[in-house]
Structure 1
Amino acid sequence: MANIKSAIKRVDTNNKKRVINQAQKSEMRTQIKHVEKLVEANDVENAKLALQKTMKYIDKAIQKGVIHQNNGDRQKSRLANKVSNLSA
């Protein structure tokens, strides 16, 4: 355990950020699964709407530094391909 006052504060700060990051990442993953479920159900219109919402969640996670830029771009690309193949 940290003995120095600034180290104790840092541990608290890191724990708070970790909880926030976990929640944001979890919500992003939930949105991705929602889109994939709609794609499996061949629901084109709702899948397109959910894709737009999911893109916002992914972009926000990238912006906050929760996930890496390339990871987010890959996720968005895969989802967009799934939805576009569904409508084609």
Structure 2
Amino acid sequence: MRRPQCARRARRGREADAIMDGVPSFETLTTLPSVYAAIVKGALEAEGVTVILDGGGFEAIYPTRIGSTGTRLMVPQEELERARTLLAEFDK
């Protein structure tokens, strides 16, 4: 006997949740032009903060301010406050 479609989806959802339990949740720290984002990423990583960059594809090829959305610096939720503090120190 076949399981109903919704039961299979629910089972897949529970399996995905179990897999994602050990994966940290990332939050956006700030958005910067891609060149600056790379510099800040290096500075934060030097302080021990995990950083991933998201976006900046078009801007990386054709650097321009017109219509630029920038690159998002994303850090694990547990490290967000420390990263904000370090970012504020870098801005001084």
Q: Which of the two has greater strand per residue?
A: 2
TM-score (structure 2 length as normaliser): 0.33
Q: Which has the higher helix share?
A: 1
Provide the TM-score with structure 1 as the length reference. 0.34
| Higher relative contact order, chain-length normalized (CA < 8 Å, sep 6+) | 2
